[in-house]
Amino acid sequence: MEAAAAPAAAALGAEAPPGAAAAAPSRLLALLRAKLCTWYILKTIILGQMLSLFICGTAVTSQYLAEQYQVNTPMFQSFINYSLLLLVYTTMLAFRTGNDSLLQILKQRWWKYVFLGLADVEANYMIVKAYQYTTLTSVQLLDCFGIPVLMALSWFILRARYKLIHFIAVAICLLGVGTMVGADILAGRQDSEGSDVVIGDVLVLLGASLYAISNVSEEYIVKNLSRVEFLGMVGLFGTIISGLQLAIVEHKDIMKIQWNWKIALLFTVFALCMFGLYSFMPVVIKVTSATSVNLGILTADLYSLFFGLFLFFYKFSGLYILSFVVIMVGFILYCSTPTRTAEPTALPQPVGAGLDNAALKIEENDSETLAGTVQFTREETVVVSTN
C-alpha cells in the first residue's frame, strides 16, 4: 500500500501550483504589450494619421467651396497641386546630373510615367465626380474596393506575402468603415439618392482601382528608385494631363467663379494640404507599405465628420467613435506582423550549351584528362599520356 501511495503523492506534487493558472492571462497581456506597444507601431500610427489630416483638409475645403460658394472644380484644384509638384520636385530633377537627371529618366522610362500620371489624375477626378451621381454611402463603401485590389497588385508586382492576421485586420478595418456608414445613415447625412447611381458606382470602382495602381507604383519607385523621381515625374505629367483635361471639361466653371479673398484662401489651403499629402506619403510608404497606408487613412472621413460638426452642423453619433476605434484596432493589428517578400524564382539552366560553352567544356575536359594521367612509376620515372 505504501509503495502504491508513493506514485500518487508524486503525481499530486507534479501538479501546477494554483497561481500558475492565474498567471497565464498576465503572460498573454505581456506578450500582446510587447508585440503591439512598440516604437514602430506608434510611429506608423502617427504617420498614418498625419496623412489622414491632410486628406481631411482637402475634403473640408472642397466641401466648403461647393456648399458656400458653389465652386465645383476638382480638376482645377488637382492642376494646382501638380503644378506645385512640378515647380518643386521636377526642378530638383532638372538640376541633377548622371543617371538620376531629368533627361536620363525621360529617355529611359518616360512612357511608364505617362501611364502613372494618367492613372493618378483620373483616380482623383473619378472619385470626386462620382459624388454628383451616386450617394455618399456608396462612395464610402465602394472606395474600399481599392484595398483588395492593392493587396492583389502587391502580391504579384511587389511579391508581398500576407499572413492570416493581415486578412483579419483588413476585415476589421472594413467593418469599421461599415460602422461609419451606418452612423451617417442614422445621423441623416444620406439625403439624396443621386442622379444615376450606376454611373457613380462605376466611377468609384474605377477610381479606387486606379488609386491602387498609383499606390503600388509609388511604393515600387520609392523603395527602388527615389522619392524625388516619383514626385517630379508625377508633377510633370500630371500637370500636362490635368491641364489638357481642365481646358476641355472645366474652363466654363472656372470662368463663373466670383473671386474674393475667402475663395482664394480656400484654394490655397486645399493646395497646401494636397501638396503636403503627396510630399509626405512616399516617406510613410517607404517606412511601411502602400497597403498599411491605405488602411491608416480610412480615418480621414471621420476627421472630416468631426470638423463637419462645427462647420456644417452635422449630427453627432456615438457610432463615429466606435468606428474610429474599430479601424484603429484593425490598422494596429495589420502593422503588428510584417509581411514577407517572396524571393524571385531561379531561372532554369539551359539544357543545351552554345558553341563557346562547348569549347570551354572541351578545354576543361582536356585539362582534367591531362591532370589525371600524370603518374609516378615505382622507378621514379614520369609517364605522361595525352591520349
CA–CA separation, 36 vs 39, rounded Å? 9
- Which amino acid, residue 173? C
170's grid cell: 483588413
Rounded distance between C-alpha atoms, residue 56 and residue 277, angstroms: 10
pLDDT digits (tens, 9 = 90+) for 44-78: 889 989 999 999 999 889 888 888 898 888 899 99
Q: What is the pTM of this model?
A: 0.78
pLDDT tens digits, 187-243: 666 555 555 678 888 888 999 999 999 999 999 999 999 999 999 999 999 999 999
Query: Can you tell me the mean pLDDT for 279-284?
Result: 94
CB proximity list for 172: less than 8 A, separation 6 or greater: 326, 327, 329, 330, 333
DSSP class of 346: P
Position 299 scores a pLDDT of 86
385 domain residue, yes or no: no
Contact predicate 281/221, CB 8 Å: no
190 found inside a domain = yes
Which among 142, 292, 163, 144 is positioned nearest to 216, based on CA atoms? 292
- Cell 550549351, located at residue: 353
Would you say residue 376 lies in a domain? no
Domain residues for 61?
36-340
Q: Indicate the pairing of strand 382-384 with strand 160-161.
A: unpaired
Residue 247 has pLDDT above 70, yes or no: yes
Inter-CA distances, 149 with 74, 243, 290, 342, 374, Å: 25, 28, 11, 19, 67
Number of domains within the chain: 1
What single letter denotes the amino acid at residue 70? Q
What span, in angstroms and rounded, lies between the C-alpha atoms of 65 and 74?
11
Mean pLDDT of the chain: 80
pLDDT surpasses 90 at 27: no
- Domain assignment present for residue 286? The answer is yes
In a domain, 162, yes or no: yes
Band of pLDDT at residue 372, cut at 50, 70 and 90: very low
Q: Are 76 and 254 in contact (CB under 8 A)?
A: yes
